[in-house]
């Protein structure tokens, strides 16, 4: 007659000893948990790398923390790495979904609305302090053109005349600047809501 204890994977005993304070078992466990970042990196690559390196490092840390809290639920039905693989896969898919939702929400935001010159200047300053900071990070010609277009309500022709640039150069600065500004704001949003 076989007992459930006899059918458990040998990793169960290692984890139990580590949780009881056995230093050697804890060291073994810590080394084995090193597979978490590797699993996340491999799965991210299989999905076309939707998460960047920094996001993956953060996710690995969060996943390790979650796994550490749940180690007592490991029942020894498979190897530790197989059990961890499931956690990593779920954590990665959830992180990708969150990132996609944030990006989709941001893309739906109309920068023209955010930069509407008819808004009260004080309210605009308070609401969009982050926007102004990111504008300051843009290359000067692009930031200047965006400010003239949205804050001073100038047309492209007026901006070209004021900056003594060709109309096509002004438009180029404007559209490239908006693309970079969206990326900066998207990054800021991910950092704030991560």
Q: How confident is the model at residue 29 (pLDDT cuts 50, 70, 90)?
A: very high
- The predicted-structure confidence for 6-21, as pLDDT tens digits, reads as follows 588 999 999 999 999 9
Long-range CB contacts for residues 150-159, cutoff 8 Å, separation at least 24 = 150/112, 150/115, 150/116, 150/117, 151/115, 151/117, 152/117, 153/117
Mean pLDDT of the chain: 81
Q: What was the pLDDT predicted at 124?
A: 45
Give the Cα separation of 78 and 57 in Å (integer).
Answer: 26
In CATH terms, 4-108 corresponds, of 1.10.1740.10, 3.40.190.10, 1.10.357.10, 3.40.50.150, to: 1.10.1740.10
Higher pLDDT, 159 or 3: 159
Cα–Cα distance, 78 to 31 (Å, whole number): 18
More confident call, 31 vs 179: 31
* Percentage of residues of the chain with pLDDT beyond 70: 78
How far CA 21 is from CA of 26, 70, 81, 128, in Å, comes to 7, 16, 21, 51
Domain definitions of the chain by residue range? 4-108, 111-193
Pick the CATH number of 111-193 from 2.60.40.1930, 3.40.50.10540, 1.10.10.10, 3.20.20.70: 1.10.10.10
Percent of the chain with pLDDT over 90: 29
Mean pLDDT of 144-162: 87
**Residue 39's closest CA among 59, 19, 9?**
59
Specify the DSSP class assigned to residue 77.
S
Is the per-residue pLDDT at 194 higher than 50? yes
- Pick the more confident residue, 60 or 112: 60
Question: What is the reported pLDDT for 129?
Answer: 65
């Amino acid at each position: 007659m076989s007992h459930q204890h006899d059918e458990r994977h040998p990793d169960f005993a290692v984890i139990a000893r580590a949780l009881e304070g056995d230093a050697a078992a804890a060291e073994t466990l810590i080394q084995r948990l090193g597979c978490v970042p590797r699993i996340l990196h491999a799965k991210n690559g299989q999905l076309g790398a939707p998460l960047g390196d920094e996001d993956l490092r953060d996710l690995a840390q969060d996943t390790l923390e979650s796994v550490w809290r749940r180690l007592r639920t490991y029942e020894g039905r498979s190897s530790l790495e197989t059990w961890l693989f499931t956690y990593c896969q779920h954590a990665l898919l959830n992180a990708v979904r969150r990132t996609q939702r944030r990006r989709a929400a941001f893309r739906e935001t109309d920068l023209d609305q955010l930069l509407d010159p008819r808004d009260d200047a004080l309210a605009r300053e308070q609401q969009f302090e982050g926007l102004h900071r990111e504008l300051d990070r843009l290359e000067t010609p692009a930031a200047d053109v965006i400010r003239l277009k949205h804050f001073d309500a100038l047309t492209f022709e007026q901006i070209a005349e004021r900056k003594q640039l060709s109309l096509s150069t002004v438009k180029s600065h404007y559209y490239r600047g908006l693309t970079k500004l969206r990326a900066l704001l998207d990054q800021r949003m991910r950092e704030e809501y991560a």
